[in-house]
């Protein structure tokens, strides 16, 4: 989770659309389909983001979610930055050495 929230904070600091980290996190969960869909009283569709807490997702599920977040953020939030470079930057920020 430390790596994931370093990613979210890095992207938040380099964008102007979302007013808080929490709003960005909700948008990510919905964009990646990590949410429940509900039909509203007026017939519209609403989304309820699911938890990414340790006890709600396996490590494999969380890694897949993280990878999809990196891909989405590189594509839609940080044009010109590859998903691989984004991952490397996050790992550098939190002190993880990549195996070279």
Q: What is the mean pLDDT of residues 2-22?
A: 92
pLDDT of residue 98 exceeding 80? no
- Give residues with Cβ within 8 angstroms of 52, minimum separation 6: 1, 4, 29, 34, 62, 65
Full-model pTM:
0.81
- Measured between alpha carbons, how far is 77 from 49 in angstroms, rounded to an integer? 20
Split at pLDDT 50, 70, 90, the class of 100 is very low
């Amino acid at each position: 989770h430390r790596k994931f929230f370093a990613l979210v904070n890095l992207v938040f600091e380099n964008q102007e659309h979302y007013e808080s980290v929490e709003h960005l996190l909700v948008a990510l969960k919905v964009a990646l389909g990590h949410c429940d869909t509900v039909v509203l009283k007026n017939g519209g569709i609403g989304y309820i983001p699911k938890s990414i807490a340790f006890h709600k997702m396996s490590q494999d599920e969380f890694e897949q979610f993280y990878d999809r977040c990196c891909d989405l953020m590189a594509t839609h939030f940080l044009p010109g930055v590859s998903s691989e470079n984004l991952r490397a930057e996050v790992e550098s920020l939190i002190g993880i050495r990549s195996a070279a």
